[in-house]
Protein backbone atom coordinates (compact mmCIF):
# COMPACT_ATOMS: atom_id res chain seq x y z
CA UNK A 1 0.00 0.00 0.00
CA UNK A 2 1.39 3.38 -0.95
CA UNK A 3 2.30 5.83 1.81
CA UNK A 4 1.07 9.00 0.15
CA UNK A 5 2.72 11.52 2.47
CA UNK A 6 6.23 10.18 2.83
CA UNK A 7 9.07 12.16 4.37
CA UNK A 8 12.45 11.78 2.64
CA UNK A 9 15.58 12.55 4.64
CA UNK A 10 18.62 12.39 2.33
CA UNK A 11 17.88 14.62 -0.61
CA UNK A 12 20.78 16.66 -1.98
CA UNK A 13 20.71 20.07 -3.60
CA UNK A 14 23.23 22.74 -4.53
CA UNK A 15 23.23 26.51 -4.67
CA UNK A 16 24.73 28.30 -7.67
CA UNK A 17 27.83 28.87 -5.50
CA UNK A 18 28.19 25.33 -4.17
CA UNK A 19 27.40 23.78 -7.55
CA UNK A 20 30.98 24.58 -8.54
CA UNK A 21 32.22 21.98 -6.04
CA UNK A 22 29.62 19.46 -7.19
CA UNK A 23 30.49 19.94 -10.84
CA UNK A 24 34.17 19.16 -10.17
CA UNK A 25 33.19 15.91 -8.45
CA UNK A 26 30.64 14.81 -11.07
CA UNK A 27 32.05 16.43 -14.20
CA UNK A 28 31.49 13.34 -16.37
CA UNK A 29 27.72 13.39 -15.74
CA UNK A 30 27.12 17.00 -14.76
CA UNK A 31 25.11 17.64 -17.90
CA UNK A 32 22.43 15.37 -16.42
CA UNK A 33 22.95 15.88 -12.70
CA UNK A 34 23.46 19.65 -12.73
CA UNK A 35 19.90 20.55 -13.72
CA UNK A 36 18.47 18.04 -11.25
CA UNK A 37 20.50 19.19 -8.24
CA UNK A 38 19.88 22.89 -8.90
CA UNK A 39 16.19 22.83 -9.83
CA UNK A 40 14.63 22.50 -6.38
CA UNK A 41 11.18 23.87 -7.15
CA UNK A 42 10.96 22.25 -10.58
CA UNK A 43 12.48 18.80 -11.10
CA UNK A 44 12.86 17.89 -7.43
CA UNK A 45 9.32 18.90 -6.53
CA UNK A 46 7.94 17.07 -9.58
CA UNK A 47 9.73 13.86 -8.52
CA UNK A 48 8.38 14.26 -5.00
CA UNK A 49 4.84 14.54 -6.33
CA UNK A 50 5.27 11.49 -8.56
CA UNK A 51 6.69 9.45 -5.66
CA UNK A 52 4.12 10.42 -3.02
CA UNK A 53 6.68 12.37 -0.98
CA UNK A 54 5.18 15.26 0.93
CA UNK A 55 8.36 16.58 2.58
CA UNK A 56 12.04 16.42 1.65
CA UNK A 57 14.76 17.39 4.08
CA UNK A 58 17.25 19.25 1.90
CA UNK A 59 21.01 19.21 2.41
CA UNK A 60 23.98 20.42 0.42
CA UNK A 61 25.72 17.88 -1.75
CA UNK A 62 28.88 16.05 -0.60
CA UNK A 63 31.69 16.60 0.14
CA UNK A 64 31.42 20.40 -0.17
CA UNK A 65 32.28 22.10 3.17
CA UNK A 66 34.28 19.11 4.38
CA UNK A 67 36.56 19.41 1.32
CA UNK A 68 37.55 23.06 1.91
CA UNK A 69 40.88 23.04 3.80
CA UNK A 70 40.90 26.80 4.33
CA UNK A 71 39.08 27.14 7.65
CA UNK A 72 37.76 30.67 7.22
CA UNK A 73 36.55 29.82 3.72
CA UNK A 74 34.79 26.71 5.03
CA UNK A 75 33.06 28.75 7.74
CA UNK A 76 31.86 31.40 5.30
CA UNK A 77 30.79 28.90 2.63
CA UNK A 78 28.77 26.94 5.19
CA UNK A 79 27.02 30.08 6.36
CA UNK A 80 26.13 31.19 2.84
CA UNK A 81 25.03 27.67 1.93
CA UNK A 82 22.74 27.47 4.94
CA UNK A 83 21.29 30.88 4.18
CA UNK A 84 20.54 29.60 0.68
CA UNK A 85 18.80 26.51 2.07
CA UNK A 86 16.75 28.65 4.43
CA UNK A 87 15.63 30.85 1.54
CA UNK A 88 14.63 27.84 -0.56
CA UNK A 89 12.68 26.25 2.30
CA UNK A 90 10.89 29.55 2.90
CA UNK A 91 9.60 29.49 -0.68
CA UNK A 92 7.68 26.27 0.06
CA UNK A 93 7.77 25.45 3.77
CA UNK A 94 5.03 22.85 3.55
CA UNK A 95 7.23 20.69 1.30
CA UNK A 96 10.81 21.33 2.42
CA UNK A 97 12.92 21.27 5.58
CA UNK A 98 16.70 21.50 5.86
CA UNK A 99 19.77 19.97 7.48
CA UNK A 100 22.63 22.37 8.21
CA UNK A 101 26.03 22.17 6.56
CA UNK A 102 28.76 22.63 9.17
CA UNK A 103 32.38 23.83 9.03
CA UNK A 104 33.70 20.94 11.10
CA UNK A 105 37.26 22.14 10.53
CA UNK A 106 36.56 24.43 13.52
CA UNK A 107 34.46 22.78 16.27
CA UNK A 108 33.53 26.13 17.85
CA UNK A 109 32.41 27.57 14.51
CA UNK A 110 30.47 24.38 13.78
CA UNK A 111 28.71 24.68 17.14
CA UNK A 112 27.81 28.30 16.47
CA UNK A 113 26.54 27.58 12.97
CA UNK A 114 24.42 24.63 14.07
CA UNK A 115 22.91 26.72 16.88
CA UNK A 116 22.13 29.53 14.44
CA UNK A 117 20.58 27.15 11.94
CA UNK A 118 18.37 25.41 14.51
CA UNK A 119 17.31 28.39 16.61
CA UNK A 120 17.14 31.13 13.99
CA UNK A 121 16.58 29.37 10.66
CA UNK A 122 14.41 26.49 11.87
CA UNK A 123 16.62 23.67 10.57
CA UNK A 124 15.89 20.17 11.89
CA UNK A 125 19.47 18.90 12.27
CA UNK A 126 22.81 18.71 10.52
CA UNK A 127 24.26 16.65 7.69
CA UNK A 128 28.04 16.42 7.56
CA UNK A 129 29.86 14.76 4.70
CA UNK A 130 32.41 12.63 6.52
CA UNK A 131 35.85 13.74 7.67
CA UNK A 132 37.06 17.29 7.07
CA UNK A 133 40.21 18.46 5.36
CA UNK A 134 41.90 21.19 7.39
CA UNK A 135 44.75 23.55 6.46
CA UNK A 136 46.06 21.24 3.70
CA UNK A 137 44.57 19.07 1.00
CA UNK A 138 46.05 15.80 2.26
CA UNK A 139 44.47 15.88 5.70
CA UNK A 140 41.54 14.18 7.39
CA UNK A 141 40.00 15.20 10.71
CA UNK A 142 37.58 12.74 12.34
CA UNK A 143 35.13 13.86 15.00
CA UNK A 144 35.87 11.38 17.77
CA UNK A 145 38.99 13.26 18.89
CA UNK A 146 38.80 15.16 22.21
CA UNK A 147 38.60 18.68 20.74
CA UNK A 148 35.15 17.84 19.34
CA UNK A 149 33.59 16.99 22.72
CA UNK A 150 32.25 20.56 23.21
CA UNK A 151 30.66 20.39 19.75
CA UNK A 152 28.88 17.14 20.61
CA UNK A 153 27.65 18.67 23.85
CA UNK A 154 25.98 21.39 21.76
CA UNK A 155 24.41 18.81 19.42
CA UNK A 156 22.99 16.90 22.38
CA UNK A 157 21.68 20.07 24.04
CA UNK A 158 19.91 21.18 20.84
CA UNK A 159 18.21 17.78 20.59
CA UNK A 160 18.64 17.46 16.81
CA UNK A 161 20.07 14.60 14.73
CA UNK A 162 23.53 14.60 13.16
CA UNK A 163 23.56 12.80 9.79
CA UNK A 164 26.97 11.32 8.96
CA UNK A 165 27.06 11.15 5.16
CA UNK A 166 29.72 9.44 3.01
CA UNK A 167 32.60 10.91 1.12
CA UNK A 168 35.47 9.41 -0.87
CA UNK A 169 38.68 8.53 0.99
CA UNK A 170 41.56 10.85 0.13
CA UNK A 171 43.80 9.82 -2.79
CA UNK A 172 46.61 9.06 -0.31
CA UNK A 173 44.26 6.63 1.46
CA UNK A 174 43.17 4.76 -1.67
CA UNK A 175 45.98 2.20 -1.95
CA UNK A 176 43.60 -0.73 -1.64
CA UNK A 177 41.61 0.63 -4.59
CA UNK A 178 44.51 1.10 -7.01
CA UNK A 179 43.66 -0.57 -10.30
CA UNK A 180 40.07 -1.07 -9.18
CA UNK A 181 38.38 2.32 -9.67
CA UNK A 182 34.94 0.70 -9.75
CA UNK A 183 35.27 0.09 -6.01
CA UNK A 184 35.41 3.82 -5.28
CA UNK A 185 32.31 5.89 -4.63
CA UNK A 186 28.87 4.57 -3.69
CA UNK A 187 29.55 0.99 -4.76
CA UNK A 188 31.96 0.32 -1.88
CA UNK A 189 34.39 3.02 -0.69
CA UNK A 190 31.68 5.40 0.54
CA UNK A 191 30.22 2.79 2.85
CA UNK A 192 33.56 1.56 4.21
CA UNK A 193 34.71 5.11 4.96
CA UNK A 194 31.47 6.08 6.68
CA UNK A 195 31.12 2.88 8.69
CA UNK A 196 34.68 3.30 9.95
CA UNK A 197 33.98 6.91 10.97
CA UNK A 198 30.81 5.83 12.76
CA UNK A 199 32.73 3.12 14.61
CA UNK A 200 35.34 5.66 15.66
CA UNK A 201 32.57 7.72 17.25
CA UNK A 202 31.04 4.66 18.91
CA UNK A 203 34.27 3.16 20.23
CA UNK A 204 35.68 6.47 21.51
CA UNK A 205 33.32 6.66 24.48
CA UNK A 206 31.49 9.63 22.96
CA UNK A 207 28.07 8.03 23.40
CA UNK A 208 28.82 7.20 27.03
CA UNK A 209 29.64 10.84 27.67
CA UNK A 210 26.65 12.13 25.69
CA UNK A 211 24.09 9.31 25.81
CA UNK A 212 21.28 11.39 24.31
CA UNK A 213 23.12 12.08 21.07
CA UNK A 214 21.18 11.14 17.96
CA UNK A 215 23.19 10.14 14.90
CA UNK A 216 21.99 9.10 11.46
CA UNK A 217 23.40 6.84 8.75
CA UNK A 218 22.10 6.35 5.24
CA UNK A 219 22.11 3.43 2.81
CA UNK A 220 20.63 1.03 5.38
CA UNK A 221 23.45 1.65 7.83
CA UNK A 222 26.58 1.49 5.66
CA UNK A 223 26.82 -2.32 6.32
CA UNK A 224 27.03 -1.87 10.12
CA UNK A 225 23.75 -3.62 11.03
CA UNK A 226 24.87 -6.83 9.32
CA UNK A 227 28.44 -6.62 10.67
CA UNK A 228 27.86 -5.50 14.24
CA UNK A 229 27.57 -8.97 15.83
CA UNK A 230 31.08 -9.88 14.69
CA UNK A 231 32.39 -6.47 15.75
CA UNK A 232 31.00 -6.97 19.26
CA UNK A 233 32.28 -10.54 19.31
CA UNK A 234 35.87 -9.55 18.62
CA UNK A 235 35.79 -6.48 20.81
CA UNK A 236 34.91 -8.88 23.62
CA UNK A 237 37.66 -11.33 22.71
CA UNK A 238 40.33 -8.69 22.01
CA UNK A 239 39.30 -5.31 23.45
CA UNK A 240 42.77 -3.73 23.07
CA UNK A 241 41.96 -0.92 25.48
CA UNK A 242 38.58 -0.12 23.93
CA UNK A 243 37.23 3.06 25.65
CA UNK A 244 33.52 2.40 24.98
CA UNK A 245 31.55 0.99 27.89
CA UNK A 246 28.78 -0.71 25.91
CA UNK A 247 28.40 -2.97 22.91
CA UNK A 248 28.38 -1.38 19.47
CA UNK A 249 25.03 -3.05 18.83
CA UNK A 250 23.60 -1.19 21.82
CA UNK A 251 24.79 2.17 20.54
CA UNK A 252 23.42 1.32 17.10
CA UNK A 253 19.98 0.60 18.57
CA UNK A 254 19.90 3.47 21.06
CA UNK A 255 21.70 6.36 19.33
CA UNK A 256 21.32 5.84 15.58
CA UNK A 257 18.58 6.24 13.01
CA UNK A 258 19.09 4.56 9.65
CA UNK A 259 17.63 5.60 6.31
CA UNK A 260 16.86 3.65 3.16
CA UNK A 261 18.70 6.20 0.99
CA UNK A 262 20.11 4.57 -2.11
CA UNK A 263 19.76 1.00 -0.84
CA UNK A 264 16.48 -0.45 -2.05
CA UNK A 265 17.05 -4.05 -0.99
CA UNK A 266 14.21 -5.81 0.79
CA UNK A 267 16.15 -8.42 2.74
CA UNK A 268 18.76 -5.87 3.82
CA UNK A 269 15.91 -3.75 5.14
CA UNK A 270 14.46 -6.63 7.13
CA UNK A 271 17.90 -7.49 8.52
CA UNK A 272 18.34 -3.86 9.58
CA UNK A 273 14.91 -3.83 11.22
CA UNK A 274 15.85 -6.99 13.12
CA UNK A 275 19.06 -5.40 14.37
CA UNK A 276 17.93 -1.88 15.32
CA UNK A 277 14.12 -2.03 15.41
CA UNK A 278 11.56 -0.60 13.02
CA UNK A 279 11.20 2.62 15.04
CA UNK A 280 14.78 3.52 14.01
CA UNK A 281 14.30 3.24 10.23
CA UNK A 282 13.46 6.20 7.99
CA UNK A 283 12.60 6.57 4.32
CA UNK A 284 14.98 8.40 1.97
CA UNK A 285 15.74 8.32 -1.73
CA UNK A 286 19.22 9.91 -2.20
CA UNK A 287 18.14 12.43 -4.82
CA UNK A 288 19.52 13.34 -7.38
CA UNK A 289 21.79 10.27 -7.47
CA UNK A 290 18.77 7.97 -7.28
CA UNK A 291 15.29 8.44 -8.68
CA UNK A 292 12.65 9.16 -6.06
CA UNK A 293 10.12 7.21 -8.09
CA UNK A 294 12.32 4.10 -7.96
CA UNK A 295 12.77 4.46 -4.20
CA UNK A 296 9.02 4.90 -3.71
CA UNK A 297 8.01 2.05 -6.00
CA UNK A 298 10.27 -0.32 -4.07
CA UNK A 299 9.15 0.91 -0.67
CA UNK A 300 5.44 1.16 -1.41
CA UNK A 301 5.33 -2.38 -2.77
CA UNK A 302 7.39 -4.16 -0.11
CA UNK A 303 5.68 -7.36 0.99
CA UNK A 304 8.12 -8.09 3.84
CA UNK A 305 6.83 -5.44 6.27
CA UNK A 306 3.42 -4.71 7.76
CA UNK A 307 1.36 -1.70 6.77
CA UNK A 308 1.89 -0.30 10.26
CA UNK A 309 5.65 -0.54 9.81
CA UNK A 310 5.44 0.94 6.32
CA UNK A 311 3.73 4.01 7.77
CA UNK A 312 6.34 4.27 10.53
CA UNK A 313 9.27 4.12 8.12
CA UNK A 314 7.59 6.27 5.53
CA UNK A 315 6.42 9.05 7.80
CA UNK A 316 5.72 8.80 11.53
CA UNK A 317 9.26 7.91 12.67
CA UNK A 318 10.50 11.05 10.93
CA UNK A 319 7.73 13.14 12.48
CA UNK A 320 8.86 12.04 15.95
CA UNK A 321 12.58 12.42 15.27
CA UNK A 322 12.26 15.86 13.70
CA UNK A 323 9.54 17.01 16.12
CA UNK A 324 7.16 17.94 13.32
Please report the pLDDT score of residue 175 as a whole number.
Answer: 96
Q: Has residue 22 got a pLDDT over 80?
A: no
201 — pLDDT class (breaks 50, 70, 90): very high
Please report the pLDDT score of residue 35 as a whole number.
Answer: 84
Active site residue 49: no
The residue-averaged pLDDT of 219-242 equals 97
Please report the pLDDT score of residue 13 as a whole number.
Answer: 96
φ/ψ (deg, to 5) at 8:
-110, 130
Over residues 155-196, the pLDDT tens digits come to: 999 999 999 999 999 999 999 999 999 999 999 999 999 999
The residue-averaged pLDDT of 234-241 equals 97
- Assign residue 179 a region: left if phi > 0, alpha if psi is -120 to 50, beta otherwise? left
Over residues 249-263, the pLDDT tens digits come to: 999 999 999 999 999
Please report the pLDDT score of residue 27 as a whole number.
Answer: 72
4 — pLDDT class (breaks 50, 70, 90): confident
Over residues 25-57, the pLDDT tens digits come to: 677 777 777 788 999 999 999 999 999 999 999
Structurally, at CATH architecture level, domain 6-322 sits in Alpha-Beta Barrel (3.20)
Q: Has residue 231 got a pLDDT over 90?
A: yes
Domain ranges of the chain: 6-322
Return the number of other C-beta atoms located less than 10 Å from residue 270's C-beta. 14
Please report the pLDDT score of residue 1 as a whole number.
Answer: 66
> What percentage of the chain carries pLDDT values higher than 90?
91
Over residues 74-107, the pLDDT tens digits come to: 999 999 999 999 999 999 999 999 999 999 999 9
Over residues 107-147, the pLDDT tens digits come to: 999 999 999 999 999 999 999 999 999 999 999 999 999 99
From the list 286, 300, 303, 309, the catalytic residue is 286
pTM given for the model: 0.97
Please report the pLDDT score of residue 132 as a whole number.
Answer: 98
Over residues 290-310, the pLDDT tens digits come to: 999 999 999 999 999 999 999
* 258 vs 113: CA distance, rounded Å: 24
Amino acid sequence: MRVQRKIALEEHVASPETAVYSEKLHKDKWHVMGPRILDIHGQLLAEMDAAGIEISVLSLNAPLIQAIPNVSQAIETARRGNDFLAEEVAKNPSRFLAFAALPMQDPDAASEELTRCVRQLGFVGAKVNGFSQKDREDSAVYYDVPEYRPFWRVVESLGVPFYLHPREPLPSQQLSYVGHPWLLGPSWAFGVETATHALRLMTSGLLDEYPKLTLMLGHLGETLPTAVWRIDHWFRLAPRGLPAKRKMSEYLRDNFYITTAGNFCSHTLTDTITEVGVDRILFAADYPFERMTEAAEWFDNLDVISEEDRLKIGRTNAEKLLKL
